[in-house]
Amino acid sequence: MFARNEVLGVLDRTVDLSRRWRGVIEEYREFLPVTEATPVVTLLEGGTPLIEARSVNKRIGRDVRVYLKYEGMNPTGSFKDRGMTVAISKALESGVKAVMCASTGNTSASAAAYSARCGLRCIVLLEKSAGAIALGKLSQALVHGATVIAVEGGFDKALEIVRSITSEYPIALVNSLNPHRIQGQKTGAFEICDVLGRAPDFHAMPVGNAGNITAYWAGYKEYHEVGRVPNRPVMLGFQAEGAAPIVRGHPVEHPQTLATAIKIGNPASWKGAVAARDESGGLIDTVTDDEILDAYKLLACEEGVFCEPASAASVAGILKLGARGYFPPGATIACVLTGHGLKDPDRAIASVSEPITVPADRDAVLEVIWGGSR
């Protein structure tokens, strides 16, 4: 028999260090705007699972294969980390001492974490009104030590203020208007291609400020141009019905949706989203809050995947299109689940029934299990 530490020693020597995930900058350095001089600030983001969604496949039928890109598995629980590792590394390289963003919650969580890691000051503007920022996201910005400023106005107004201040002071803007954010986020498309060995036929995602759809399309195009994949997907974006400026064709002054992450009335990357849609022959459509919640529960109860409501807009969207017979037989569809369900515990609790309370008694527990039907 080996002593425990001897066994561990043997195991340690067999670990192949070259196969450890190194974060998106090191994994995709040749595609990113970094040099040897760039100080890489990473939490080993990226490398997230691509999970086949068998229940969703069945609902759509026609032998389609739906894959969930589960971005909730990133270090701060959303896709923002892919862009933030690049934006914060470049901010540090440029010599600024502070970064700033407006946010519906996830950008601020990510900016706060990456800033904490490298000693940058992080200032975030959030909408003040009750329920605007999901609890998990707010707690992240605060716990990482950001200066959190609650603004009496929505995301669009907050972003306007951030743009104005960062254009005047040596503070780096880390919203997705920052091209380094888009560069980092395009690595999500690379990963999907690396796993499938080609681009999916369709790529579905929620659209808020529209940076991510811009980034994914850039990533797919780039991988195709350099010959890593033989094809490009059709891009499908989904906005919440009460916050759908791109679908309506004009800004929405008071956007409304329970998917707070995408409660945005005037997306900064509007043009990028339209280009992704038109160049790929895709579409940007609406989903209702009820459709979002149905998809959210379906993912949780039948796929075992817990995402936040805004993320479920991608699956709500393909279910809606699938019901119309939109997808050709055998199509592969990648759906980005942009953030983790734990980000918004209030929404989770509100959408399920209460736990059943019983006395600390074996029979009372059995009564609940069998419901007197034994």
Q: Does 311 bind ligand F0G (CB under 6 A)?
A: yes
Give the residue from 195, 290, 274, 198 showing the smallest Cα distance to 237: 274
C-alpha span between 84 and 112 (Å, rounded): 10
Stretches 1-9, 100-108, 220-228, 362-370: which one binds ligand F0G (CB under 6 A)?
Answer: 100-108
Residue 206 binds ligand F0G (CB under 6 A): yes
Q: In whole angstroms, what is the distance from residue 245 CA to residue 243 CA?
A: 6
- Which of the 8 DSSP states describes residue 162? H
- Tell me which residue of 82, 159, 84 sits closest to 124, measured CA to CA: 159
Which residues are paired to 239 by β-bridges? 286
- Please tell me the total number of residues recorded for the chain in this structure: 374
55 and 303 in contact (C-beta within 8 Å)?
Answer: yes
Q: Indicate whether 34 belongs to the interface with ligand F0G (CB under 6 A).
A: no
Binding mask 265-304 for ligand F0G (x = CB under 6 A): ----------------------------------------
Pick 85 or 311: Cβ nearer ligand F0G: 311
Report in angstroms how near the CB of residue 240 gets to ligand F0G at its nearest: 10
Answer yes or no whether residue 310 interacts with ligand F0G by CB under 6 A.
Answer: yes
Q: Which of residues 333-372 bind ligand F0G (CB under 6 A)?
A: 338-339
Q: Between residues 249 and 372, which has the closer beta carbon with respect to ligand F0G?
A: 249
The residue within the footprint of ligand F0G, chosen from 191, 201, 241, 308 (CB under 6 A), is 308
Which of these, 256, 248, 310, 259, lies nearest to 284 by C-alpha position?
248
Classify each residue of 158-192 as buried b or exposed e, where b means 16 or more C-beta atoms within 10 Å of its C-beta. Answer: bbeebbeebeeeebbbbbbbbbbbbbbbbbbbbbb
Taking CB under 6 A as the binding criterion, the range among 28-36, 101-109, 319-327, 358-366 that sits at the site for ligand F0G is: 101-109
Q: Which residue has the tokens 């920022």?
A: 133
Interface segment toward ligand F0G; rule CB under 6 A; list 20-28, 196-204, 205-213, 346-354: 205-213
In contact, 123 and 100? CB cutoff 8 Å: yes
| Candidate list 42, 76, 85, 103; residue touching ligand F0G; CB under 6 A | 103
CB of 12 to ligand F0G, least distance (A): 38
Say if residues 314 and 346 touch (Cβ distance below 8 Å): no
The answer to whether 75 contacts ligand F0G (rule: CB under 6 A) is no
Considering only residues 209-238, where is the footprint of ligand F0G by CB under 6 A? Answer: 209-212
* Min CB(278)–ligand F0G separation in Å: 17
Residues contributing to the site for ligand F0G (CB under 6 A):
78, 103-107, 176, 206-212, 261-262, 308, 310-311, 338-339
